[in-house]
Structure 1
Amino acid sequence: MSFVRDKLSAKFFLFLMLAFLLIHVPIVGNYAKVINTLIHESGHALIALLGGNVERISLFMNSEGATYSNQSTWAGSFFTSLAGYTFASFMAFLSYLLIGKKKQIILIDILLGFMFLNLIFWVRNPYGIFWLCSFAIAFLILLIKGSQNLRDYLLLLIASILLVDSVQSAYEILYISLIQPYEAGDAANLARLTVILPAPVWGFFFFLQALWFSYYGLKRGYYKLEK
């Protein structure tokens, strides 16, 4: 039992380190990080649809993204601004949970669903279309042609990228909220909407929720695989 636990710990640590190193490789790293950007912007869009409409989503070569939506109420603007980082962190948690439960097919369906949903309805900028098509095609080829082990390793790597980048991006927005609060993206938007809660408060919230989801994602994924 101890051997199995140590082996799983090494596997999780290896993939987290691989994801961390990969997202910091020039050019390739930005390409890989767009998977988290896609989830982040999709979170904004899905919530925006509840009280308004989504005009478009842009995915950029530097791994940044933008969702353009119209909201008719304060609550709609608030929850749309709140959704990006929290949804990305939740998806990292869900990915590890599904892998731990050996529900990889569900995770594949979710990832492909986000890609095709964005390609059909929202993403219109050239790089965004290129990224969605190229990533979806490569993903499908590896799933169809690769072995089950390759599929499982690929999904674990994607889950690790989602987890690592969700924490890193949340830390970055926290840092920006402290030194340039009016330039802190979603944290700045929430500060304007809430008035009494400045951007650093929302920066800390985004970072803490990312750590919470990451901890429980790893814990649940590890625990389920161990059993």
Structure 2
Amino acid sequence: MKKKLALFIILAVFLTQMPFIGPYFSIVNTLIHEAGHAIMSLVTGGDVQSIALFSNTEGATLVSNRYWLGGFMTSIAGYVFASYMAYLFLTLIYKRKSRYVLLIFLGLLLISLIFWIRNLYGLFWIITIIAVFSWVLARGSKRILDYFALFIASLVLVESVTSAFEIMFLSFVSPSNAGDATTLANMTFLIPALVWGIAFFVQALFFARLGLRRYF
């Protein structure tokens, strides 16, 4: 089991760094990140207008929150949700429930397609991914399902850590252009973007460590 996970992590790193096709795989984590924002907005009484996914792996979630706390929690949720999902997926695989990993992710895909995704590239990406997932779930053997789930978990694990590192780096070199870290800095005034960037990276490492320890 250890060797399989190590191989899939290496594969995930390799694929996400490839030109042209790399961003296609990286958007798996982008969708989960943006879905985290959307779900938290709904939980805290807000509204979700749309989610956009872009070919450069960036995403944007348009939400409205009636209260400051709801907006604050929504801004935090993206990186935390992606990191937690990496942990959850590895835990489910450890418990030999790989099918649940695929069902959970397919559920996020379908909900996002029906209610949130509206831009052209986002629709292209999500429809093609749903087609692949549906085929694997319907026709794949137990071994195929296990490998596919491990690949998805590895992608989310790798990208949840690397994307959190990137936002931390941006919060140091360009704090006014550091995505969620900048948004939180503007909301909290006294806490600068670099603090939020560091917090996002630390929590990503925390959940990654938990997931790897659980799996092993």
In structure 2, what is the Cα distance between the partners aligned to 1:211 and 1:194?
Answer: 24
Counterpart of 1:51 in 2: which secondary structure?
coil
Greater Rg, structure 1 or structure 2?
Answer: 1
1:45 to 38, 44, 60: 38
In structure 1, the residue matched to 2:152 is: 158
CA distance in 2, matches of 1:215, 1:155: 19
Q: What amino acid does structure 2 have at the position aligned with 1:19?
A: A
Normalised to the residue count of structure 2, the TM-score between the two structures is: 0.97
Question: Which residue is 1:91 aligned to?
Answer: 85
CA distance in 2, matches of 1:106, 1:63: 25
Q: Closer, same or farther in 2 for the Cα pair 1:104/1:9, shift >3 Å?
A: closer
Give 1:68's match in structure 2, choosing from 59, 62, 68. Answer: 62
Report matched runs for 1:197-216 at 5 Å. Answer: 197-216=191-210
Corresponding residue of 1:168: 162
Match of 2:15 among 18, 22, 26: 22
Shift of 1:105: 2.3
Shift of 1:89: 0.3
How many pairs are equivalent?
Answer: 215
CA deviations 1:78-102 (Å, max 9, x no partner) are 0000000000000000000000011
The partner residue of 2:2 within 9, 25, 30 is 9
1:4 alignment counterpart: none
- 1:101 maps to what in 2? 95
Task: Give the Cα–Cα distance (whole angstroms) in 1 for the partners of residues 139 and 77 of structure 2.
Answer: 35
- Stretches of 4+ moved more than 4 A in 1? none
For residues 179-194 of structure 1, the aligned pairs below 5 Å read: 179-194=173-188
TM-score (structure 1 length as normaliser): 0.92
Q: CA RMSD in A?
A: 0.9
Post-superposition offset of 1:145: 2.3
Q: Is the 2:102–2:133 contact (alpha carbons within 8 Å) kept by the matching residues of 1? A: no
2:11 partner letter: L
1:68 partner SS: strand
Aligned to 1:54: 48
1:217 aligns with 2:208: no
| Residue of structure 1 equivalent to 2:75 | 81
Gapped regions of structure 1 (runs ≥ 5) = 1-7, 223-227
Q: Once the 2 structures are TM-superposed, how far is the Cα of residue 126 of structure 1 from its aligned partner?
A: 0.8
Cα distance in structure 1, aligned partners of 2:136 and 2:69: 42
Q: Which amino acid aligns with 1:147?
A: S
Once the two structures are TM-superposed, the CA of residue 146 in structure 1 deviates from its matched residue by: 2.5
CA distance in 1, matches of 2:103, 2:135: 15
The letter of the residue matching 2:116 is W
Q: Distance in 2 between matches of 1:146 and 1:103?
A: 15
Q: Distance in 2 between matches of 1:123 and 1:45?
A: 11
Instruction: Report percent identity of matched pairs.
Output: 47
Tell me, which stretches of 5 or more residues in structure 2 are unaligned?
A: none
The aligned amino acid for 1:64 is E
Counterpart of 1:27, as a letter, is F
Distance of 2:20 and 2:56 partners within structure 1: 8
Residues of 1 paired with 2:115 and 2:137: CA distance? 25
Deviations 1:19-75 (A, max 9, x none): 111100112110011110010000000111122101100011111100001111110
Amino acid at match of 1:191: A
What is the CA–CA distance in structure 2 between the aligned matches of 1:139 and 1:52, rounded to whole Å?
Answer: 30
